[in-house]
Structure 1
Amino acid sequence: MPELEHLPPTGGAPGSPDPARIQRGLLEEQVELWWFREPGKSVLCYCVAVLLVLGCGLGGVGLLSTTTSASSEWRLGAGTSLCLLALGVLLKQLLSSAVQDMNCVRSRRRIDVLKSGGLSDLVVVLVAGSAMLLCGAALLHLALVDHMPKPGQALHDMYVSGVVLLAAGGAAVVGAGLYSAAVVLLERTRMGRRLVDRLTSIFTVSGQMERRRETTSSLANLI
């Protein structure tokens, strides 16, 4: 019958397994891949950690290397604090890498907290920014409020160092806040898209089932 040639193919049975979905489920079960689910976030947080280590480390070494008798107190304090901060950020990255290599954590929630781009990196950036803000505020307080006799160059260096630390710490804190806000917005948008996709798929499947029923009834009438 020529009418049957124009009918669309009905496809597989409704209960047949989807190979793409099965492959996706197998990949989701691999614990090693949970560390690399969001490479964009990982690269961004890794670059921020490298900048923090280099900036704090070089700044601390610079302050310690230029310590003189006239400015020994604040240079030693600020330089030591920056070096310890750089070591702390570096230690966090090394610990995360060691935990990932040993594969001793098999919980998705804990991996999301520990991996680059997770909660731990955000906390590290916030702590580093807050520490730089405190250190910069202390230096500005000493430069502007302290009335102890100091050479003019020492006060100028203290003031410049305080301003630089305040700017760097403020940028770190504001950047972490913007990052967290962007992540929250993206997650909400993603959840909304998933809901829309689910509703669309439900309506699409129901529409296909109705068309199949109409095709079946028309075939029965033709026969």
Structure 2
Amino acid sequence: MPELQHFPPTVGVPRSPAPSTGGGQADPAQIQHSIMEEQVELWWFREPGKSLLCYCVAVLLILGCGLGGVGLLSTTTSVSSEWRLGAGTSLCLLALGILLKQLLSSAVQDMNCVRSRRRIDMLKSGGLSDLIVVLTAGSAMLICGAALLHLALVNHMPKPGQALNDMYISGVVLLTGGGAAVAGAGVYSAAVVLLERTRQGRRLMDRVISIFTVSGQMERQARRETTSSLANLI
């Protein structure tokens, strides 16, 4: 029986290159990002950390303003009826306004009537609307506290009393709470801006690295094809 002879591969027949394992695999993070980009319902939950932070701040503002307003209204007497009624009513209305904003955002999200990414980013917790609400609440508390402090300092000199001391303490508390709210909103805005710039820089670096990686893979693949063609010719 004749022995089988080993023949070299035919010259000129192209060989199919081996599939590259580096660039052919799908990135799970990229797949998840693509799914979230397509689903409008998931746009409300893209940044859970920011949403949780803003939700907790809104709850604290509602509780603080509501309890403070109810406390001032419940302790109203004939001596201190004017400033307690004014400050208590303002705090209660402020708490109701923050609660109304949270309820409206939840209703819009449940009805799924908004399909614009810009409007969803503005309405969702952690968006622009929460920042505006916190700044508005902090500014209102600062104004109310400054007014109470001014009245307490002006009226305390000729006739000191317990009612004026309560007015002074209430003004200090409102100034402290309002200043904390405004300062927190400012720090939050600065942190968001810095994080966005950092993310943009990272995305740019990732794109540059991926371009160089793909170029290097294509160059190595071309070299392998040239070497295999020369070997086949030899």
- Asked if TM exceeds 0.5, the reply is yes
Structure label with greater radius of gyration = 2
Which residue of structure 1 lines up, in the alignment, with residue 129 of structure 2? 120
Compared CA separation, residues 59 and 214, structure 1 to 2 (3 A): same
Compared CA separation, residues 193 and 215, structure 1 to 2 (3 A): same
Is contact 2:156-2:164 (8 Å) kept? no
Is contact 1:35-1:115 (8 Å) kept? yes
The percent of aligned pairs where both chains have the same amino acid is: 78
Structural RMSD (CA):
2.1
Aligned runs of 1:199-218 on 2, under 5 Å? 199-218=208-227
Residue 29 of structure 2 is aligned to residue 29 of structure 1: no
Structure-2-length-normalised TM-score: 0.86
Structure 1 residue 25: deviation in Å? 2.3
Is contact 1:56-1:85 (8 Å) kept? yes
Compared CA separation, residues 78 and 23, structure 1 to 2 (3 A): closer
Secondary structure of 1:145 counterpart: helix
Distance 1:24 1:144 in 2: 58
Distance 1:74 1:150 in 2: 16
Stretches of structure 2 that go unaligned for 5 or more consecutive residues are 1-16
Stretches of structure 1 that go unaligned for 5 or more consecutive residues are 1-7
Structure-1-length-normalised TM-score: 0.91
Residue 60 of structure 2 is aligned to residue 51 of structure 1: yes
Structure 1 residue 128: deviation in Å? 0.0
Distance 1:53 1:68 in 2: 25
Q: Deviations over 1:73-98 (max 9, x none)?
A: 10000000000000000000000000
Is contact 2:142-2:179 (8 Å) kept? yes
Structure 1 residue 13: deviation in Å? 11
Compared CA separation, residues 179 and 60, structure 1 to 2 (3 A): same
Of stretches 25-34 and 60-69 in structure 1, the one that deviates more from structure 2 is 25-34
Aligned runs of 1:9-158 on 2, under 5 Å? 10-11=19-20, 18=26, 20=28, 21=30, 24-146=33-155, 152-158=161-167
Distance 1:24 1:137 in 2: 48
Residue 202 of structure 2 is aligned to residue 193 of structure 1: yes
* Aligned partner (choices 185, 200, 214) of residue 176 of structure 1: 185
Compared CA separation, residues 182 and 216, structure 1 to 2 (3 A): same
